[in-house]
A and B are shown apart, each in its own frame.
Chain A
Amino acid sequence: MKDIIRKQFDRLRARGAHYVDTRWYPYEDSNFLYMWNGNLKANNASSQSGLGVRVLYNGAWGFSASSDLANPEAIYEKAFDNARIASERVTFPVRLAEKDAIVDSFNSPNEIDPFTIGLDEKVAFLKKMDEALNQPGVVQRTSMVEFVRKQIIFMDSEGSEIEKNIIEVFPRIGVMGFDKDGGMQRLTYMPGRKAATRGWESIDEVDFLKNADRIVGELNQLLVAEDAPSGKMSVILLPGIMFLQTHETIGHALELDRILGYELSFAGGSFVRLEDFGNLRYGSEKLTARANALEPNSPGSFGYDDDGVPAQDNLLIDKGILVGAITGRQMVEEANAKAKRQIFDGSSGANRATSFYRVPIERMTNINIDPGTDGSLEDIIANTEYGLVLDGDKSWSIGSNREQFHFACDIGWLVQDGQKKQVVKNPTYRGETLPFYNSLSAVGDESTWHVHYVENCGKGAPNQIMQLGHGIPVCRFDNVQVGE
């Protein structure tokens, strides 16, 4: 297949293509198991393979993909023709930032390939979780686990050939019950990752059982709890909601394709402008954020992106000042040209596609907040006069330029005079992005930090789902509007 691909590169280059690349997926397998109230509702396996071809011609992209590999030339021909027609409407000809031609491979770290584990053992894990969750107060219980393994062969007309072998494991448990007012309450647990691997061994049964007990206990407190208060107060966001706050209002806001207007017809833009890099105060001095694609145990780490650029660790926000973005080869060239200054030195290696049949776009890697110096969760609570501790991502809604947001959380605890008090239900908060991050008044230390994965980030047209991560500490924000 590699010889066929190289021949097609030569053929299209001879016809005037500036650049051609291919992602060949010899296989992408997944296995999804979902148990609901003891019923194994999903026991699904899937497999796919195919070619995705990207052609740059006269400053415009064409893409084509197919699972039919009997006639690969036809896929290249369609991609070339798509680029040719696209070149009839070009305003800023696509240029790609320089990169080295790389021949290498990447294997995601894992000790036990989950596909070598028998179905019986996987079902046994779900049954054990289901039994652990089957306690008074729980009306519904869910346990699920998804396994993915894929091989991606990336080749481009600049001489890169990169083989990636990636394995992922995504487990989750949850409980639901009806509160004293008849409202539905739910809590979920997905483990943070402090280990250095991401295979079957990352499923820690002891940890799951401990957290099964925890969420059942918390659910029972929610069922008799009063509604969360409303008004302006401090909010202490645990990683179970802070990851999503970061994801939506730092991660998406700093994708360079959004900043340059490439997502306006669907996901939206960004309030960030090119002139903001290097001087916009995004948050208080306690806020340092980075895109770190080198975390070993996260789906946001992949060795090389789908431009063939090595994974990197880059600062996005340095002590509150905006300094970086999530970028690929195309967007950094356009941004530097439009800004008439060198904002970006090169691609940050964040151009990724969800499958062989989708085109790579700027995606988050691991968008992390650095741990702070404000101690443990208990220390932060002890230094809080009045507010809420919040956890769980019940709902999220963000303005089209990521300038404002509204979140509902699964659970809250009232904090008064430095003490964590009773559980409150249905907590919500909203804010405007910049004032909110400038109200960041405490960042927890390493003891509060863990990597939280996201398995379903949606973006792009055609739509794409992506897996990524967030390394997040506990954070406190002051004067936040709660309860609307």
Chain B
Amino acid sequence: MSQKVIDLLKKLRKAALDRNLKVLLQYHEEDSYLMRFANSAISLNTNEHLVRLDMVAFDDKKQVSFSLIVDPADFATMEQGLDRLVEMLPHAEPLSYVPTFPVFSKNVFDERAFDPELAALSNQERLDYFNILAEGLESDDVKLSGIFSSGTTTTAQISTTNEHAQYFRSTDAQITAVLSSESLKWEVNAEQSAQKKSDLDPEGLHEDLALLVKHYQEDQAVQLPVGKYTVVLGPAATAELSMMMGYFGMMGQAYKQGYSFLKEEDQGKLIFSEKISLADDPDAVELFAKSHDQYGFERKKFALIEDGKFGSFMWDQDSADEFGQNPTGHSVDNVSVVMSGGDKEVSTLKELLEMEHDEDILYIPYIHYMNVVNPSQGMVTGSSRFGALYLKKGGGVQVPFNVRLTQKFTDFFGERVQWLSKKQVAYNVSSSYGQRNPMALLVPRFICVKGIEISHSNPSY
């Protein structure tokens, strides 16, 4: 497999050299499977096998690119892509800086995140997984929805500088299961990220779903008054907040373009809770990490937040070129971000519900449709969804209707952080817009934060 891909790139490289082109050639192949459930049935069962080629041509300060989805056997079409670059390059506008042309100094072969068993997962196994997680939980009113998305992603790069090439292959699965009441419109979910087949745990999802369904069917539903609450975030909420904070706050380009709430002078300063440490870790195989970026830069562990102190901005090659910075190995489709765990021995939803607490706690597992209201302030908004619970001081549980939170990143991850779970879980944040690019974060199972403001509370489900 790898040799076939490399041979193709080398052949294409030769064709580029024949045209006097200085080109970076990037290969992307996906073998994607998605079984989708709705109304307790399989509503769609699909697969796509697609090969993409991105060709970027350089000429001093000029840069143009051509992308195609192509039959890997159709070399003539690929050559036409090179011919398009030859046509486009003279008409390109010079940049104000010289973009770095990638030089791969050695061959790289990274299949650490590839599992042949997950790659070979069958339709029947995907269906069996869902049958196990939903066993006994569906009814005339309670319906199952969800996705089982899995696949293999292969990427490779070569440039016309030399014959060294990079090759990466990974497997991933993203599973979301939702149980919802048709009559009342409540919805609870359980999710899983997997990098290898042995990660798959339908029984674990069943346990969480059964517990949530029981509470949603038996406990009192309430419209919470607006105001401040002690909130426990689940992994979905923590991962999505961390990802958005990284994207808007910690990318060098976003900072230079005014989209960050962080400033250069914040580097090394205590901006967040001392309990928070966040790093991009290329050794986190369960996060589909890659050893090198697309420019051949060997990725190393990169501290974004260390004991509450902001580390550094991440610089991809192009932004680094433009703004006179040093690249940090972040010319990648996905980072592999890890939030360190804390010292709280609460590892499961059941343990959270059984945990002693001397105040009311609002558990928010998931924040729906999060968006940045004010990037300069790092202010985001979103609504709770999928199984929020209100844990009363005396031990009872209520089911809150969805609430809206409009808060700053530093409200969530700043000085009001109370505790973090010791246990960490991988949360899959892959989107399937366009090409498959698996991405997950490793985050504490729970984070407790005081003083989170609820600005709106739904009057019903």
Interface residues of A (CB under 8 A from B): 35, 38-50, 60-70, 78, 81-83, 85-92, 118-120, 123, 127, 139-140, 176, 178, 182-184, 260-266, 268-269, 271, 357, 359, 394-401, 403-404, 406, 408, 426, 428, 430, 432, 458, 461-465, 484
Contact = CB atoms under 8 A, between A and B. Distances in A.
B145 A264 contact: yes
A266 B38 CA distance: 11
Nearest to B43: A262
A108 to B, nearest CB: 22
Contacts of B145: 261-262, 264-265
A399 B81 contact: no
B237 to A, nearest CB: 14
B180 A464 contact: no
A373 B124 CA distance: 59
Interface in B12-66: 32, 34-51, 63-66
B205 to A, nearest CB: 13
Contact of A119 (B91, B370, B381, B431): B91
Nearest to B431: A463
Contact of B48 (A65, A263, A265, A408): A65
B444 interface: no
B91 A45 contact: no
A144 to B, nearest CB: 13
B385 A461 contact: no
- Which residue, of A65, A428, A462, has the highest number of chain B Cβ atoms within 10 A? A462
Interface string B124-156: 100100110000000000010111010000000
A384 B284 CA distance: 58
Interface in B79-120: 81, 84, 88, 91-93, 95-97
A78 B31 CA distance: 13
B127 A183 contact: no
A60 B145 CA distance: 15
Given A119-B91, A396-B371, 6 more contacts: A43-B88, A45-B88, A78-B47, A261-B39, A265-B177, A462-B32
Nearest to B187: A264
A461 B34 contact: yes
Given A43-B88, A399-B402, A48 B381 contact: no
A91 B81 CA distance: 47
Nearest to B65: A44
Interface stretch (B1-9, B70-78, B416-424): B70-78
Q: Which 9 A-B pairs have the closest CB atoms?
A: A48-B69, A119-B91, A86-B42, A40-B93, A82-B45, A46-B67, A462-B432, A63-B46, A184-B258
27 contacts: A39-B322, A43-B65, A44-B65, A45-B67, A50-B69, A64-B48, A67-B70, A68-B49, A68-B71, A82-B47, A86-B42, A89-B40, A89-B127, A91-B41, A260-B39, A262-B39, A265-B37, A265-B38, A265-B177, A269-B180, A357-B50, A397-B369, A400-B369, A403-B458, A404-B456, A461-B147, A464-B433
B342 interface: no
A129 to B, nearest CB: 13
A399 B124 CA distance: 35
A38 B37 contact: no
B381 A406 contact: yes
A430 B189 CA distance: 27
B215 interface: no
Contact of B368 (A178, A400, A464): A400
Contacts of A90: 41-42
A480 to B, nearest CB: 13
A163 to B, nearest CB: 21
B185 A47 contact: no
A61 B456 CA distance: 40
Contacts of A462: 32, 34, 46, 48, 149, 432
B47 A86 contact: no
Contacts of A120: 91
A400 B383 contact: yes
Contacts of A38: 96
Contact of A264 (B35, B38, B50): B38
Contacts of B375: 184
Given A70-B73, A89-B41, A261-B39, A46 B46 contact: no
A85 B124 contact: yes
B69 A67 contact: yes
Contact of B127 (A85, A118, A178, A461): A85
A404 B455 CA distance: 12
B336 interface: no
Contacts of B88: 43, 45, 119
A63 B371 contact: no
A300 B286 CA distance: 41
B189 to A, nearest CB: 8
Nearest to B97: A39
Contacts of A78: 47
A313 to B, nearest CB: 29
Contact of A404 (B67, B95, B373, B458): B458
Contacts of B259: 184
Contacts of B72: 68
Contacts of A183: 374, 376-377
A66 B74 CA distance: 13
A316 to B, nearest CB: 21
A91 B138 CA distance: 12
Contact of A261 (B131, B180, B381): B180
Contacts of B124: 85
A47 B81 contact: yes
A483 to B, nearest CB: 10
A46 B39 contact: no
A90 B44 CA distance: 11
B162 interface: no
Contact of B71 (A70, A123, A403): A70
Contact of B45 (A35, A83, A397, A400): A83
A292 B433 CA distance: 26
B373 to A, nearest CB: 5
Given A43-B88, A81-B123, A430-B404, A395 B432 contact: no
Nearest to A270: B185
Contacts of A465: 433-434
B47 A67 contact: no
A182 B132 CA distance: 54
A395 B244 CA distance: 14
B66 A39 contact: no
A176 B38 CA distance: 43
B401 to A, nearest CB: 10
Contacts of A89: 37, 40-42, 127, 130-131
B224 to A, nearest CB: 14
Contacts of A396: 369, 371
A396 B146 CA distance: 25
Nearest to B179: A264
A433 B265 CA distance: 43
B88 to A, nearest CB: 6
A461 B259 CA distance: 29
Contacts of A403: 458
A44 B57 CA distance: 10
A408 B370 CA distance: 13
B69 A399 contact: no
B223 interface: no
